[in-house]
Chain A
Amino acid sequence: EVQLVESGGGLVQPGGSLRLSCVASGFTFSNYWMHWVRQAPGKGLVWVSRILPDGSGATYADSVKGQVTISRDNARNTLYLQLNSLRVEDTAVYYCVRDQRVWILDYWGQGTLVTVSS
């Protein structure tokens, strides 16, 4: 069974940093593209970032470029998202998502909530 379990969310002050993790199981993690998608409370889905199986080819939404970094450790079956210079508007549930082929987001984690507030 495919499972994606995010962690690392929490309350952080504006300007702070956070690293989100996503542990994958039930499939060969190193074979798949992976994404992060976020959703602010009561709002829609927003695509954040994607990374290729070998850790290359990271792309980012304009709204987060320069502020976040996606990475992965295939030996640990883990996807990461480093969030820096956090702003109140970055408050959201962050989902870790597997990509079955090209932009087929077939498995989603349960999400981890990041709250940016003073």
Chain B
Amino acid sequence: QSALTQPASVSGSPGQSITISCTGTNSDVGGYNYVSWYQQYPGKAPKLIIYEVSNRPSGVPDRFSGSKSGNTASLTISGLQAEDEADYYCNSFTSRHTGVFGGGTKLTVL
């Protein structure tokens, strides 16, 4: 199972919007709505920020949103804040009843 494809890094200035893509196949991202996103600070455990493509857990700011088109899911962060600087990972359920993560994207807030 190959990792989902994410850009290695993205950057943006405070207040701007950024989008992180996550590309898979028909057997994972494209085949199911079980795509989730995780935020991870250095030395810390990941935190769930989006589940089932576009749903936000309680407590996650509405600046975070998710979507999907075909085999590509996307995470958008609007109104970028300094505290958003972190690593972001997508994850998908697969047709083999396994899971697969993306390679991760480092977000830098300029």
Contacts and interface: CB of A to CB of B under 8 A. Distances in A.
Interface of A: 35, 37, 44-47, 50, 57, 59-62, 95, 100, 102-106, 108-111
Contacts of B51: 100, 104, 106
Contact of B98 (A59, A108, A109, A110): A59
B64 interface: no
B34 A47 contact: no
A106 B48 contact: yes
Contact of A103 (B40, B93, B102, B104): B93
B45 A110 contact: yes
Main secondary structure on chain B at its contact with chain A?
Answer: strand
22 contacts: A35-B99, A37-B101, A44-B87, A44-B101, A44-B102, A45-B40, A45-B46, A45-B89, A45-B91, A47-B91, A50-B97, A59-B97, A95-B45, A95-B46, A102-B93, A103-B34, A103-B93, A103-B99, A105-B38, A105-B48, A106-B51, A106-B57
B92 interface: yes
Contacts of A104: 34, 36, 48, 51-52
Q: 7 closest A-B pairs (Cβ-Cβ)?
A: A47-B99, A44-B104, A108-B45, A103-B34, A103-B93, A104-B51, A45-B101
Contacts of B101: 37, 44-47
Given A105-B48, A109-B45, 16 more contacts: A44-B3, A44-B87, A44-B89, A45-B38, A45-B46, A45-B89, A45-B101, A45-B104, A47-B100, A47-B101, A59-B98, A61-B98, A103-B92, A103-B99, A104-B51, A105-B36
